[in-house]
A and B are shown apart, each in its own frame.
Chain A
Amino acid sequence: KQEVTQIPAALSVPEGENLVLNCSFTDSAIYNLQWFRQDPGKGLTSLLLIQSSQREQTSGRLNASLDKSSGRSTLYIAASQPGDSATYLCAVSRGYSTLTFGKGTMLLVSP
């Protein structure tokens, strides 16, 4: 059974810092990995989708990497802002019906 672990569970940083969120998964036979952002009480917003054949994806200040063989992904956030405060969820997909989530990293960026 696929298990996804996110470290750290919570992170508090001052504005302007660069930071890294970590995600690991136990079964490397994935089709893709997706990073989501969730604000309190809200839905999930997709940030980046990395296919199993890709090594990284970038969107603005966000960069996600994937090392499928070692079962790891990182989400790098450059020059963090208070508006980045949210919970970040990593999810791996195998097939159209199977999306396994980590428990998330709760990020707080203080002004």
Chain B
Amino acid sequence: DTEVTQTPKHLVMGMTNKKSLKCEQHMGHRAMYWYKQKAKKPPELMFVYSYEKLSINESVPSRFSPECPNSSLLNLHLHALQPEDSALYLCASRGGNRTNYGYTFGSGTRLTVV
């Protein structure tokens, strides 16, 4: 298995809703990432988990709450989002701290906040 699987593919939520995005990989990668991508822009880093511990939070608002229950699973919990949070959310994984590993990205969740 050489994939990063993200669910759901599409999500529409109201500003008062609570929802979660899920990301799963079975490649044994120990670094996992959440990125946010707006239309016609490159991905922007949100969070980094290394060995199931949060190592980087790029000053993301608290309405986004990441969770890494185990080495294969990464969640992003969403609460009280704003319309400007509508974007493509991408999950990625990497083999670890070795410099020769590349990144593997999932297909993304298209989020629309109404």
A107 shortest CB reach to chain B, Å: 14
User: CB of B48 within 8 A of chain A?
Assistant: yes
Q: How far is the CA of A97 from the CA of B56 in the complex (A)?
A: 8
Q: How far is the CA of A93 from the CA of B47 in the complex (A)?
A: 16
A97 shortest CB reach to chain B, Å: 5
Secondary structure class of chain A's binding surface, majority of residues: strand
B110 touches A43 (CB 8 A): no
Partner of A103, one of B41, B97, B99, B100: B41
Give the contacts of B79-114 with A (CB-CB under 8 A): 88, 90, 92, 94, 96-97, 99-108, 110
The residue in chain B whose Cβ has the minimal distance to the Cβ of A44 is B105
Q: Using known A-B contacts A89-B42, A99-B45, A101-B43, determine if residue A46 contacts B106 with beta carbons closer than 8 Å.
A: no
Q: How far is the CA of A45 from the CA of B90 in the complex (A)?
A: 12
User: CB of B6 within 8 A of chain A?
Assistant: yes
Partner of B102, one of A43, A46, A97, A103: A46
Q: Using known A-B contacts A32-B99, A36-B105, A96-B50, determine if residue A44 contacts B41 with beta carbons closer than 8 Å.
A: no
The residue in chain B whose Cβ has the minimal distance to the Cβ of A46 is B102
The residue in chain B whose Cβ has the minimal distance to the Cβ of A45 is B105
Q: How many A-B Cβ pairs are below 8 Å?
A: 60
Secondary structure class of chain B's binding surface, majority of residues: strand
Known interface pairs A43-B88, A44-B43; 15 further A-B residue pairs with C-beta atoms within 8 A, sorted by A's residue number:
A32-B100, A36-B105, A42-B108, A43-B106, A43-B108, A44-B92, A46-B103, A46-B104, A51-B99, A51-B100, A96-B94, A96-B96, A99-B45, A101-B42, A104-B42
Which residues of A are in contact with B by a Cβ distance under 8 Å?
31-32, 34, 36, 41-46, 49, 51-52, 89, 91, 93, 95-97, 99, 101-104
Of the A-B pairs whose beta carbons lie under 8 Å apart in the complex, a sample of 7, sorted by A's number, is A41-B88, A41-B108, A44-B92, A93-B99, A96-B97, A96-B101, A97-B55
Which residues of B are in contact with A by a Cβ distance under 8 Å?
6, 31, 41-43, 45, 48, 50, 55-56, 88, 90, 92, 94, 96-97, 99-108, 110
